[in-house]
Amino acid sequence: MVRGPTLRRWHRRLGIVVSIFLLVLAVTGILLNHEPALNLNKVEVRSGWLMSLYGMEGVASEVDGFDLEGSWLVSHNGSLYLGSKAIGSAADKLVGAVRATEMIVVSDERQIFLYTFAGDLIERYTPTDLTPPFVGLGMIAGAPVLRTDEGLFMADADMVDWGRFPADVKTYVTWSKAQRLPEAQRNLLDHELRGGGLPLYRILLDVHSGRIFSDFGRYVMDGAAVLLIVLSITGLWIWWPKR
């Protein structure tokens, strides 16, 4: 091994790289060592990008839903939510949701869902006399109206039979349309999907070990340890007096 400008230059460069990892290890190590006093297990972190690293996906920054007189019905990843409460699932895209006199009526492209105002499922069915796909759901005079390629159909009082509805009065139907979810409601749903957040202690522990970036992070920390060994050896070699 040569003791010269080249070795000193590389030693200095390695020192800069390793110092970053040493700083991370030192700071996280001190914090972890004093976890009981700092109550790190009780501090929750809810940063979106950080929770995504742990597979805790929330809702997108922009998501649509159906306004049911203050309560919002949202379809997210195949699941239905009333407010922040999970109430069921829908395999197809929702075409509408309305608040009838005694229940909430929801329709995807092939099925009708009936819920109580509290979000409890009453019934889920495909009307036998209708041919999917369904393309719209609305209200007229307190009764739900379903639109298909074959025309308009209105439900009876029990929401069981859907009779053909005159097409010439379709302009009087108030159609259900998806709207952008308000930020407060989106945050409420996001909180429900992601749970109570991540304990700061777990995050610091994963940063300290490199596990926060899965196998890649562990390999990076292993590489930093190897660089530290090389740095120690080259430092001793440079310092050791020549004989």
The pLDDT tens digits of the residues spanning 147-175 come to 999 989 998 888 888 988 876 766 789 99
Position 175 scores a pLDDT of 93
Task: Point out the least confidently predicted range of 32-36, 54-58, 116-120, 194-198.
Answer: 54-58
Q: Percent of the chain, pLDDT > 90?
A: 25
- Contact by Cβ (8 Å): 180, 64: yes
Return the axis-axis angle of helices 200-209 and 214-239, rounded to nearest 10°: 50
- Averaged pLDDT for residues 111-137: 92
Task: Point out the least confidently predicted range of 86-90, 106-110, 209-213, 238-242.
Answer: 238-242
Q: What are phi and psi of 163, to 5 degrees?
A: -95, 155
66 vs 89, higher pLDDT: 66
pLDDT in tens, 176-186: 999 998 888 88
Strand order in the sheet with 143-148: 162-165, 151-155, 143-148, 134-140, 174-175
Q: How does residue 57 score in pLDDT terms, banded at 50, 70 and 90?
A: low
User: In degrees, to the nearest 5, what angle opens at C-alpha 190 toward C-alphas 201 and 124?
Assistant: 130
Check pLDDT > 60 for residue 192: yes
206 vs 12, higher pLDDT: 206
Dist. CA 243–CA 240, nearest whole Å: 9
> If DSSP states are collapsed to H, E and C, what string results for 197-243?
CEEHHHHHHHHHHCHHHHHHHHHHHHHHHHHHHHHHHHHHHHHCCCC
Q: What is the pTM of this model?
A: 0.62
Residue 206: other Cβ atoms inside 10 A: 18
Which parts of the chain are beta strand (E)? 44-45, 64-68, 71-76, 79-82, 85-89, 94-99, 104-108, 112-115, 121-125, 134-140, 143-148, 151-155, 162-165, 174-175, 179-180, 198-199
Check pLDDT > 50 for residue 243: no
Strand order in the sheet with 71-76: 85-89, 79-82, 71-76, 64-68, 179-180
